[in-house]
Amino acid sequence: MEISFTVRLPVDVDSVPFVRGLCRQALEHLRIDRPVVEETTLALTEACANVVRHAGAHAEYEVSVAIAGDVCRITVVDDGSGFDPAEVAGREPSVDGGGAGLTLMQALVDRLDFRSDPDGRHRVSLEKRLSSRPPLRLLDPS
């Protein structure tokens, strides 16, 4: 079964829990394991919160979610000023929490990509495998 949707949202704090809830409901409907749902929706939350925090006066942004097979692909597109991920990755998170989001998203998803589109829009793409990770196996000492 596949589920996909795209929503255009106002750049405001109320849009973040709204889109997180849509994604959560889709993943739960497909009976994805709870830890995977939590990791996926937290990464989406961080990507959207960054848009709300940094997009400035732009009125809206777009979120696309495509769940097919064992992968969830999420794209967040906005008209903000963007940033250089390599520059942010090299900095320590600030006291107010700034800069930790990139590290968090990298830890939560299997693939994270930032692009500037030719039309000047900025795109964050996240990809998360939906199957649970295999349990850790202890090395056999023999």
Q: What is the CATH number of the domain that holds 11?
A: 3.30.565.10
Q: Name which residue leads in pLDDT, 85 or 14.
A: 14
62 within a domain of the structure (yes/no): yes
Predicted confidence (pLDDT) at residue 29 exceeds the cutoff of 70: yes
pTM of the predicted model as reported, rounded to 2 decimal places: 0.81
61 within a domain of the structure (yes/no): yes
C-alpha span between 142 and 93 (Å, rounded): 44
Per-residue pLDDT tens digits for 89-130: 555 555 455 567 888 999 999 999 999 888 888 999 999 999
Considering its fold, how many domains does the chain have in total? 1
* Distances from the Cα of 62 to the Cα of 70, 107, 137, 139, angstroms: 23, 23, 41, 46
141 within a domain of the structure (yes/no): no
50 within a domain of the structure (yes/no): yes
Q: State the DSSP H helix or E strand holding residue 89, giving kind and residue range, or none if neither.
A: helix 85-89
135 within a domain of the structure (yes/no): no
Q: Which residue has the tokens 């939560």?
A: 108
